[in-house]
Amino acid sequence: MSNAFEAFIPIVAIIFTFGIPGVIIFWAIQSKHRERMKLIEKGLTPEEVRDYFRDAEKKPRNPYSTLKWGILFLFLGIGFFLANILEYTLEVGEDFMPALLLFFGGAAFIVYYLIIKSKQNGSSDKPAVTTQDKTE
């Protein structure tokens, strides 16, 4: 009985390895096609549809996203390191590690927020240069 199940393991692995990504790619292409067809049915010309999607692809990017991920991974590494140290020195249970990782992850986002807030306040504190015509 176990030999029959063992024979299906490679078949299932191949199906999941190639089948699921194939279904996801097909679904993405199909939904994109459906969306474009709906826009064309509403009376937009192909040029307008092309311009619509070209503008949608040019989303404004966060210039500080690398900073966010760097701070997050730094704090998660610190949390992981401290959790391991506490686990071996104070003999704290393994359940302590996820709590410490979540704590340091949250702290990383708070530090990121404070850094971005200070950068935005620093750039808005500069007086704007205005020119006014004095006709007195």
pLDDT band at 103 (very low <50, low <70, confident <90, very high): very high
The confidence score (pLDDT) of residue 56 equals 63
Mean pLDDT of the chain: 81
| pTM, rounded to two decimals | 0.51
**Arithmetic mean of pLDDT, 49-62:** 71
pLDDT score of 93 = 78
pLDDT in tens, 122-136: 775 544 444 444 444
- pLDDT top residue among 120 and 54: 120
CA distance 63 to 134: 39
Using one digit for the tens of pLDDT, what is the confidence trace for 11-21? 888 888 888 88
Burial of 105 from C-beta contacts in 10 A (0-12 / 13-18 / 19+): middle
Give the model's pLDDT for residue 74. Answer: 96
**Helix %, strand %, coil % of the chain (to 5):** 80, 0, 20
Per-residue pLDDT at 39: 77
10: pLDDT strictly greater than 80: yes
What is the per-residue pLDDT across 36-51, written as a single tens digit (0 to 9) for each?
Answer: 788 778 887 777 777 7
The domain ranges of the chain are: 11-57, 65-123
